[in-house]
Structure 1
Amino acid sequence: MQISYHSEEETMALMEANTNLLARTGKVEQMSQVLSKTVKTTKTKLAETEDWNRRNNKVVHGLSERKENANALQYIMTQPPLWFPTLKDAPPEIMRAHRIGSHRSQPTKPRVMIFMCLRYIDRARILKAARGSPLVIEGKEARFTADYSIATRVRQKSCHLVMEKARQAGYQAFLFYLATIKVSEGHEHRFFQDLVKLKQFLESGE
């Protein structure tokens, strides 16, 4: 069995090559981190742009389909002042409306309706009225929500569980755009964008 020995020059050359390789690897890792951050920032900006384009939209859940006679726009244009008396003096102007999904002859539950207001202020007025006086039609409550991008909805959905834990702990919890959670106790208010930090806060019992 032969044992190979390296000369001092060869050993130094190998060490230098290893150092250069580690340096190049470090640069690649740094570039990867920069690219990852850039991709994340780009995705966030795209979601915010899509949310902005949808800012005048409103989504209605649980609204019966039996009264609109396949004409969602005509139906929704006349209903808000009847649902919410505060809108009678200045009815919101609605430009488009449609149901999401294909029509079913015997649906187990009504399809979601989405409509677009002419102005953002009209959308805000409808939401405010719905919060102040929940809408019940044929014994079922219809809910109004904002029309956000899929990315934003996914982020907000991830907040619901920890918000429920905050409420169980005696706090009031509110979700603000984009995915900021406001936790209140009396006159003290805290805002969290990091779910891990909110969980740590709840576990600490401060």
Structure 2
Amino acid sequence: AHMRTERSSDTLDPAQPSIDIFNDFLPLYQLFTVTIERAAGCARGMAESSKKFETGLTVKTRGMSDMEAIAEAVLEKQRGYLEARFGKLQQVAEDTEAKLGVIQADLLSLNESVGCVNVELDKIRANVESNRGKLANQETVLEMMQRKLADLEDRSRRCNVHVIGLPAGSEGNNAVQFLTKSLPKWFPTLSNMEGEIMRAHRVYSDDRKNSRGPPTLIFNTLRYTTRQLILRAAKKSPLVVDGRPVRFSPDYSGHTVKRRQAFTQAMNMARKKGVEFFLLYPATLKVKAAGKTEIFQSADDAEEFISSLPTPRTPPAAEIDDSDPGPSSVAAE
């Protein structure tokens, strides 16, 4: 449009029409020529790039083939190695499975054995429980039989008297004659003892070196009533011979003596506190305190009770009942 405007403004020369046309199309020709050259250059570049790509692709394809061959070789070696290892592992697994089978069989056998043992243990437990009850019953029966035997032995000794603290040798060669003459002198209430003393002798312990005081003199009376008269007279009038106290006590069995000795501590506590007490046959402590009377079969209970009592100013005399058992005590047993 610019060119047309310029041409319309000038005066047209009819003699130069071809030159003007050439001048008009020259820039277009030059532009077309440059475009063609550029296109040719691009085509050549693309051709060269295509050749390079084909060459690289060929090289890469050859490289991939080589890598595939190497990978196949490596995989083959690995396959052989792993197959050998897997074979060994399979053999080990088979051996282990066989051993586990043996162990499982042993465990089943052991389980059966344990079941049998449990059954036997249940039987043993039942027998033990049954025997425990029987044992407790037998212990009760044994204790009762011991007390009955002790009672029978005590009754067989009911006419015996112990003389404790009498100087050794005082009786001379004839203890029966000595006691027959001495008892009326010691206790005037015993006027006539002729024929009442049946036997008399000293009782020696196994350990004479460590024994305290002279050996005990024991004698047997003809009648139980005579023994009781002697014990009561000795209790009312304590005897002293050669400046030493002499005590008279009944003769009991070893079982009864042990039961009575268990109350020694309780009786000593009662004496210190001035509490009146009585040791009844066979082994029962009777305590009088604060206007009440308490009876104890257990030494521990007696000690606990006496320890809780206050100490009076004037202690009363204590008493020990040394009488033999009567029908009521037998019924109590």
Instruction: Work out whether the TM-score is over 0.5.
Output: yes
**After superposition, where does 1:102-141 map in structure 2 within 5 Å?**
109-141=213-245
Residue-pair matches, total:
200
- CA deviation map 1:60-109 (0-9, x unaligned): 01112444321111101111111111112x4371111111239x9xx984
Corresponding residue of 1:189: 293
- CA deviation map 1:119-158 (0-9, x unaligned): 1111111111111111111111111011111111111111
**After superposition, where does 1:24-173 map in structure 2 within 5 Å?**
24-88=127-191, 90-91=192-193, 93-101=196-204, 109-173=213-277
Q: 1:68 to 1:22 in 2, by over 3 A?
A: closer
Corresponding residue of 2:125: 22
Q: 1:14 to 1:91 in 2, by over 3 A?
A: closer
Is residue 199–residue 219 contact of structure 2 (8 Å, CA) maintained in 1? yes
| TM-score of the pair, normalised by structure 1 | 0.82
Distance apart, 1:41 and its partner CA: 1.5
Distance apart, 1:169 and its partner CA: 4.5
Structure 1 segments, 4+ long, off by >3 Å, are 1-6, 9-21, 166-170, 199-206
Q: CA RMSD in A?
A: 3.1
State the one-letter code of the partner of 1:118: L
Is residue 279–residue 286 contact of structure 2 (8 Å, CA) maintained in 1? yes
SS for the counterpart of 1:85 is coil
| TM-score of the pair, normalised by structure 2 | 0.53
Distance apart, 1:45 and its partner CA: 1.2
Answer with 53-62 or 167-176: which moved more.
Answer: 167-176
Q: 1:108 to 1:43 in 2, by over 3 A?
A: closer
Answer with 26-35 or 191-200: which moved more.
Answer: 191-200
Q: 1:12 to 1:91 in 2, by over 3 A?
A: same
Is residue 265–residue 303 contact of structure 2 (8 Å, CA) maintained in 1? no
State the one-letter code of the partner of 1:81: P
Whole-angstrom distance in 1 between the partners of 2:217 and 2:114? 73
SS for the counterpart of 1:96 is strand
SS for the counterpart of 2:263 is helix
Distance apart, 1:172 and its partner CA: 2.0
Q: 1:201 to 1:137 in 2, by over 3 A?
A: closer
Is residue 266–residue 306 contact of structure 2 (8 Å, CA) maintained in 1? no
Answer with 164-173 or 148-157: which moved more.
Answer: 164-173
Is residue 269–residue 307 contact of structure 2 (8 Å, CA) maintained in 1? no
| Percent identity between the two aligned chains | 35
Structure 2 unpaired stretches of 5+: 1-99, 311-333
Structure showing greater radius of gyration is: 2
Bigger share in strand = 1
Whole-angstrom distance in 1 between the partners of 2:245 and 2:306? 32
SS for the counterpart of 1:64 is coil
Bigger share in helix = 2
Q: 2:302 aligns with which of 195, 198, 204?
A: 198
Whole-angstrom distance in 2 between the partners of 1:191 and 1:121? 27
